[in-house]
Amino acid sequence: PKVDLATGDIIGMEALLRWQSPELGEIGPERFIPVTEDNGMILPLGAWVIEEACCQAKAWLDEGLFAGNVAVNISGIQIRRGDLPELVRRILHKTGLSAGTLELEVTEGFIMEEPERAIKILNELRDLGLTLAIDDFGTGYSSLSYLKSLPIHHLKIDKSFIRDIPGDKNDMAITQAIIAMATSLDIELVAEGVETETQRQFLIDEGCRYGQGYLFNKPLRAAEMQQLLQAQDRQQQAG
Ligand code: MG
Ligand code: MG
């Protein structure tokens, strides 16, 4: 879940992959994603993830449980192929999800590898009506001149900066600078890895409106997410 830091309301969600292997147990995405990027399986896997996320979001929207957006992480390889806009358009058509409900997260590192090409594809995706986010911001040596030409709506502050707030003064200063910069460029911020009340308060005070992390929820299975949405729905009906 992604939440409004001030109210705790769920404003969206990020779809995450987990692999439960019968032989090897639970394998994290940091292990299996690079393998799929090497052997090309990231393309069918990536397409499957977008479709599953869209299907699930559509079902929750139809039940009236959910009004935010669902974010899917995109690998640089999916963008480099160039047919991502067409794939997304097909999946939206097939699942019936409106484009405005889908957000794609692209890491800063990838954009900076091939900025001209990334900007072209991101523009095509934005023209479809999607929301775009830069993921893990602050870790990828962004060029600020590119940042202002990117068609992005959200910037996600990497959890490595949030983790050591308030202990690390440098991380606090960097976080403040990212928030100030994004605010003046009119880009909305999401803080990743929010774990403590102190961090939540600091982010609100500095002007970051949204966040995600263990302070609010750990990653949830779809059935658990549904219960959470139902609980929020009941609360809103009561209040
Ligand atoms: Mg992400
Ligand atoms: Mg991230």
Low-confidence stretches of the chain (pLDDT < 50) are: none
Residues with beta carbon < 5 A to ion ligand 2? Answer: 135-136
Q: Alpha-carbon distance 11 to 3, whole Å?
A: 5
Question: What local confidence, expressed as pLDDT, does residue 110 receive?
Answer: 81
Global pTM? 0.94
Q: What angle do CA 214, 68, 111 make, to 5 degrees?
A: 75
Instruction: Quote the ligand 1 centre to 142 CA distance (angstroms).
Output: 17
pLDDT per position as a tens digit, 209-237: 999 999 999 999 999 999 999 999 898 88
Q: Alpha-carbon distance 34 to 207, whole Å?
A: 35
Residue 217's CB is within 10 A of a number of other CB atoms, namely 16
Instruction: Quote the ligand 1 centre to 197 CA distance (angstroms).
Output: 22
Q: Extract the tokens encoding 123.
A: 């523009």
> Which one of the ligands is nearest to 14 CA?
1
> Which one of the ligands is nearest to 161 CA?
2
Q: Extract the tokens encoding 216.
A: 């609010």
Instruction: Quote the ligand 2 centre to 84 CA distance (angstroms).
Output: 20
